[in-house]
Amino acid sequence: MTIEKMQIQHVPQVAALEKQCFSDPWSEKSIASELVNDLAFWLVALEGETVAGYVGSQTVLGESDMMNIAVHPDFRRQGIAEALVDALMTELHEQGSRCLTLEVRASNESAKQLYRKLGFIPIGKRPNYYFNPREDALILRKEWEI
């Protein structure tokens, strides 16, 4: 498995994974537009030519937000999400970012466990943030020393 910066040829597979994993997925067009967004930085985990997982972020004034992360069901529990977030944090740190913030569905135990393992701390809640089904978001953040 290798981790690389997302490129245009990866976008259809990332969009397909979005559809498979989320009830309110980003469209292929929105994902492609991240490639020309100076604030955005997305990584993919590749097994050969197959996109096994991806993570996306945007950074404003030294504060980064994770937009989304997913791993294909066939590739889960192999450390791919952990490797993607680690690689993302290393890159964002090098770019001068101070922290990474994300939202997670209150019921998403596997994702919450992943973020706990990586040292993210709960900093708040957004009531009724998600649709399909309606649910609160927990806000988690990890800060690092510059």
Ligand X SMILES: CC(C)(COP(=O)(O)OP(=O)(O)OC[C@H]1O[C@@H](n2cnc3c(N)ncnc32)[C@H](O)[C@@H]1OP(=O)(O)O)[C@@H](O)C(=O)NCCC(=O)NCCS
- Give the shortest CB-79-to-ligand X separation in angstroms: 5
Q: Which position among 24, 36, 49, 77 is part of the footprint of ligand X (CB under 6 A)? A: 77
Site string for ligand X, 83-122 (x = CB under 6 A): ---------------------x---x-xx-xx--x-----
Contacts for 83 with CB less than 8 Å, ≥ 6 apart? 1, 3, 45
Q: How far is Cα 38 from Cα 112, in angstroms, rounded to an integer?
A: 29
Counting residues that bind ligand X (by CB under 6 A) gives 18
> What is the helix (H) or strand (E) element at residue 6, kind and residue range?
none
Q: Quick check: bond before 133 cis, omega within 30?
A: yes
Catalytically annotated residues: 103, 115
Which residues of this chain interact with ligand X, rule CB under 6 A?
21, 69-71, 76-82, 104, 108, 110-111, 113-114, 117
